[in-house]
């Protein structure tokens, strides 16, 4: 056998036996590298006679091509095998559960606020927010509570010590800053924004949820608590609209079509007439179960929220014409709603930050309340 045949035979056998890409690369250097055996043969061409080169030339070129092809073919096979091995070693089982990790929970107050936003969004209400440190005017005066009004004392307000820099007449509360005692000032601000945008006025449907503050602390009162107020302004609004809205909201919130409410005359400076809404309950094994008229034997009425037709003086102070625009408003404690719906009996535990309480009463962070899935579902 000629030398080219010997080399080709040897190369084919060893390339076929190369176990990995590194071994194959060593063979490439051995045959085709600068000092390689095929390269050495190429160099002999120069010293040959033209006749010899005529026959040996193509033979050596063919050898070089054959070895190159063998190397490339083996490389493809080895690379495919390497990829297969890598894929087999690196598979991820995407059906495995996520690893254990610290998990927070959504506080029942946040959950209830989300539920309320969802329920009222469905009724066409937008969510309005505003400052917790309020100007005395927005918190009281604009709500028909002049300085002499006993309701200001009724509210046990946290006043800031210094008058606001804008400077009001001394000896007056005007310009004084307070921790807002209700979210009504948010609604006043929203009405005034509407007038700024449109001096003739425009209809409005908002809820104003958030923190409010009163200097009051006992088993059933905390100095900070959560309130949600609702306000509808339009033409020809009457108590019937208020009653339907409250009934519809409470049925959706408690996920109970049997909820019955009773409106009872009351007094708030910012509404006229003012009505308190009671919700009927039945006593079942000593526990209050909401639903049905409270007038049946073994039933009763529970005071739940305050509301009324917006006082025309409030509409006027917000810059709207009270002969054109009417409205209703209501206010309810969010903490109280959460306790009633989810069965907590101690308000103070809401603000202790006890991790065991939070993991027991909290909600999964990824479970957003929706009307279609049920506003109060835990999973
Ligand atoms: C309660 C009762 C209420 C309002 C809040 C309101 C807001 C504006 C105008 C008129 Cl801008 N009213 N809000 C009305 C009636 C009752 O809250 O028991 N709160 C704890």
Domain locations along the chain: 3-89, 108-130+185-213+222-361
User: For ligand 1, atom 5, which residue shows the shortest CA distance?
Assistant: 331
Per-residue pLDDT for 365 more than 60? yes
Nearest to 253 by CA among 276, 279, 234: 279
Residue 266 CB contacts under 8 Å (≥ 6 apart), including other chains: 274, 275, 276, 306, 308
Element (H, E) at 278: strand 271-284
Does residue 231 have its Cβ closer than 6 Å to ligand 1? Answer: yes
To 5 degrees, how large is the angle CA 150–CA 155–CA 160?
A: 110
| Residue 313, SS3 per DSSP | helix
Does residue 187 have its Cβ closer than 6 Å to ligand 1? Answer: yes
Q: How far is the centre of ligand 1, averaged over its atoms, from the C-alpha of 101 (Å)?
A: 43
Phi/psi-derived region of residue 101, left when phi > 0, alpha when psi is between -120 and 50, beta in every other case: beta
Where is the binding site for Mg(2+), in residues? 272
Nearest to 191 by CA among 311, 332, 333, 273: 311
Q: How far is the centre of ligand 1, averaged over its atoms, from the C-alpha of 291 (Å)?
A: 24
* Fold adopted by 108-130+185-213+222-361: BirA Bifunctional Protein; domain 2 (3.30.930)
User: What is the 8-class DSSP label of residue 374?
Assistant: B
| Residue 179, SS3 per DSSP | strand
Does residue 108 have its Cβ closer than 6 Å to ligand 1? Answer: no
Lowest mean per-residue pLDDT among 15-24, 163-172, 196-205: 163-172
pLDDT for the residue numbered 93? 83
Radius of gyration of the chain (CA): 41
User: For ligand 1, atom 18, which residue shows the shortest CA distance?
Assistant: 306
Residue of 330, 333, 335, 336 to test ligand 1 pocket, by largest number of atoms within 8 Å of CB: 330
- Which tokens go with 102? 């610290």
User: Per-residue pLDDT averaged across 355-371, rounded?
Assistant: 89
Distance between CA atoms of 182 and 174, rounded to whole angstroms? 18
The chain-wide mean pLDDT, for the chain, equals 92
Lowest mean per-residue pLDDT among 98-107, 201-210, 216-225, 348-357: 98-107
**Contact predicate 39/61, CB 8 Å:** no
| pLDDT tens-digit series, residues 2-37 | 888 899 999 999 999 999 999 999 999 999 999 999
Distance between CA atoms of 310 and 308, rounded to whole angstroms? 6
Does residue 310 have its Cβ closer than 6 Å to ligand 1? Answer: yes
Q: How far is the centre of ligand 1, averaged over its atoms, from the C-alpha of 24 (Å)?
A: 84
Length of the chain: 379
Q: How far is the centre of ligand 1, averaged over its atoms, from the C-alpha of 251 (Å)?
A: 21
Where is the binding site, in residues? 272
**Contact predicate 329/231, CB 8 Å:** yes
Q: How far is the centre of ligand 1, averaged over its atoms, from the C-alpha of 243 (Å)?
A: 15
Does residue 339 have its Cβ closer than 6 Å to ligand 1? Answer: no
**Confidence tier at 169 by pLDDT (50, 70, 90):** very low
| pLDDT tens-digit series, residues 274-296 | 999 999 999 999 899 999 999 99
User: Per-residue pLDDT averaged across 117-145, rounded?
Assistant: 96
Phi/psi-derived region of residue 137, left when phi > 0, alpha when psi is between -120 and 50, beta in every other case: alpha
| pLDDT tens-digit series, residues 308-342 | 999 999 999 999 999 999 999 999 999 999 999 99
Does residue 184 have its Cβ closer than 6 Å to ligand 1? Answer: yes
Per-residue pLDDT for 167 more than 60? no
To 5 degrees, how large is the angle CA 366–CA 371–CA 372?
A: 85
**Confidence tier at 165 by pLDDT (50, 70, 90):** low
pLDDT for the residue numbered 323? 97
Q: What are phi and psi of 129, to 5 degrees?
A: -130, 165
pLDDT for the residue numbered 102? 65
Does residue 268 have its Cβ closer than 6 Å to ligand 1? Answer: yes
Tokens 């890409």 — which residue? Answer: 21
To 5 degrees, how large is the angle CA 165–CA 171–CA 174?
A: 50
Nearest to 151 by CA among 29, 53, 324, 270: 270
């Amino acid at each position: 056998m000629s030398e080219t045949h010997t080399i080709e035979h040897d190369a084919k056998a060893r390339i076929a036996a190369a176990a990995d890409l590194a071994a194959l690369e060593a063979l490439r250097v051995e045959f085709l590298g600068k000092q390689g055996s095929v390269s050495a043969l190429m160099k002999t061409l120069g010293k040959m006679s033209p006749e010899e080169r005529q026959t040996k030339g193509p033979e050596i070129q063919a050898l070089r091509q054959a070895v190159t092809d063998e190397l490339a073919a083996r490389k493809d096979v080895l690379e495919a095998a390497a990829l297969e091995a890598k894929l087999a070693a690196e598979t991820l089982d995407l059906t495995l559960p996520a690893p254990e990790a610290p998990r927070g929970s959504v506080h029942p107050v946040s959950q209830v606020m989300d539920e309320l936003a969802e329920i009222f969004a469905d009724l066409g209400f937008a969510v309005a927010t505003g400052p917790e440190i309020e100007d005395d005017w927005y918190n009281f005066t604009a709500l028909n509570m002049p300085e002499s009004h006993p309701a200001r004392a009724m509210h046990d307000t946290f006043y800031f010590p210094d008058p606001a820099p804008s400077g009001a007449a001394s000896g007056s509360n005007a310009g004084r800053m307070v921790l807002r005692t209700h979210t009504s000032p948010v609604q006043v601000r929203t009405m005034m924004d509407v007038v700024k945008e449109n001096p003739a006025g425009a209809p409005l449907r908002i809820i104003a949820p958030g923190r409010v503050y009163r200097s009051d602390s006992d088993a059933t009162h905390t100095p900070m608590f959560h309130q949600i107020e609702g306000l509808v302004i339009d033409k020809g609004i009457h108590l019937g609209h208020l009653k339907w809205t409250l009934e519809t909201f409470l049925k959706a919130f408690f996920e109970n079509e049997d909820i019955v409410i009773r409106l009872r005359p009351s007094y708030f400076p910012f509404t006229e007439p003012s009505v308190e809404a009671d919700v009927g309950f039945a006593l079942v094994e000593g526990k209050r179960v909401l639903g049905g008229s409270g007038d049946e034997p073994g039933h009763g009425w529970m005071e739940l929220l305050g509301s009324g037709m917006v006082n025309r003086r409030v509409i006027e102070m917000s810059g709207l014409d009270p002969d054109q625009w009417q409205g209703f408003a209501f206010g309810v404690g969010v903490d109280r709603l959460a306790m009633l719906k989810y069965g907590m009996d101690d308000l103070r535990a809401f603000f202790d930050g006890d991790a065991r309480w939070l993991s027991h009463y909290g909600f999964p962070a990824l479970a957003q309340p929706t009307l279609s899935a049920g506003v109060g579902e835990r999973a």
